[in-house]
Amino acid sequence: MKKIEYGMDFVARNLGIFKCPVCGRSFEKIVHKSVSCDQGHLFDFSKKGTLYFLKHGVKSDYNDETMWQARRNVLQAGLFQPIVDEISSFLSENRSLRIIDAGCGEGSTLKYFENKRESNKDIYVGFDISKRAINLATQGEGSAFFCIADLAQLPFAANSFDAIIDMFSPSAYGEFERILKKGGILFKVIPNENYLIELRHMLYEKNDNHYSYSNAEVLSLFKQHYPQARVKRINYEFTLKETSFEDLLYMTPLHWGAAETKIDDALATGLAKITVDVLLLMVEND
């Protein structure tokens, strides 16, 4: 089945998941190669089977194709595998779930969930604001549907998902609460101070703001919304034997503000392993 045919078939089978971002009404049918709401607003499927739900153009540093390819290489080598394993341990094994990845990037996280939970026949949706990332996500095998969407105005119906995965991405808690089913779980992953610390210290001097990191502001905001949330620290070392240091360097925005001499020195020196240090924040929608 061609990508566009798969995308159209997925949406046709799951129309109830989506809503029109223009008028907020339900999508009603597939018309030729578009999906239409009952007010006649049309959204065309791309050749890759994706839908573009943004109502205006967006300029973003995250449309860097080199970064997304590097990120795919590192994630497929297993950089975040322990994190995804931990999230998966909280998901029901007894039924199929609707799972959405907010800020899904190039799609590797959803593919890992699908492989790990293949017997559950879950429904997977990923969205990102980066068209380049979504185009790359469609190149892989898997059942997930991908779209370009605005975090602040999600094109999904209320009470549509059993789990929201938000790994290192911004959040729109009001929208998350709207699309999450009662009893569903929001998983948010944020960096700790030692996340990729070896790379951070290679690229910046001690007097630079990027030399250290604090998640205090992000954590405080999450706890304001969800004082009952569970917090679990995940810390491990990842050996770079299955991927290159160059991919690690370019997969993260850390290199954006670094001096060229620092980048050159880092590439010449390299690293054998890197620290992954994050907080997993979890809250059930009750």
Is residue 213 helix, strand or coil? coil
Per-residue HEC secondary structure of 153-192 comes to ECCECCCCEEEEEEECCCCCHHHHHHHEEEEEEEEEEEEC
Q: Any known ligand binding at 20?
A: yes
Question: With contact defined as beta carbons under 8 Å apart, do 46 and 80 qualify?
Answer: no
Q: What is the CA radius of gyration of the chain?
A: 19
Q: Any known ligand binding at 284?
A: no
Q: Any known ligand binding at 80?
A: yes
Q: Any known ligand binding at 176?
A: no
Q: Any known ligand binding at 195?
A: yes
| The token pair that represents 176 in the structure block | 């998350």
Q: How buried is residue 161: exposed, middle or buried, by Cβ count under 10 Å (0-12/13-18/19+)?
A: buried
| The token pair that represents 169 in the structure block | 């991405």
Q: Any known ligand binding at 257?
A: no
| 217 CB neighbour count, 10 Å cutoff | 8
- Kindly state the DSSP code that residue 63 receives in the 8-state scheme: G
For the stretch 75-110, what's the b/e string if a residue is b when 16 or more beta carbons lie within 10 angstroms of its beta carbon?
A: bbbebbbebbebbeeebeeeeebbbbbbbbbbbbbb
Residues sharing a CB contact under 8 Å with residue 199, sequence separation 6 or more, in sequence order: 248, 249, 252, 254, 266, 271, 274
Q: Any known ligand binding at 106?
A: yes
Binding-site members are 20, 23, 37, 41, 80, 106-107, 195
Binding-site members for Zn(2+) are 20, 23, 37, 41
Binding-site members for S-adenosyl-L-methionine are 80, 106-107, 195
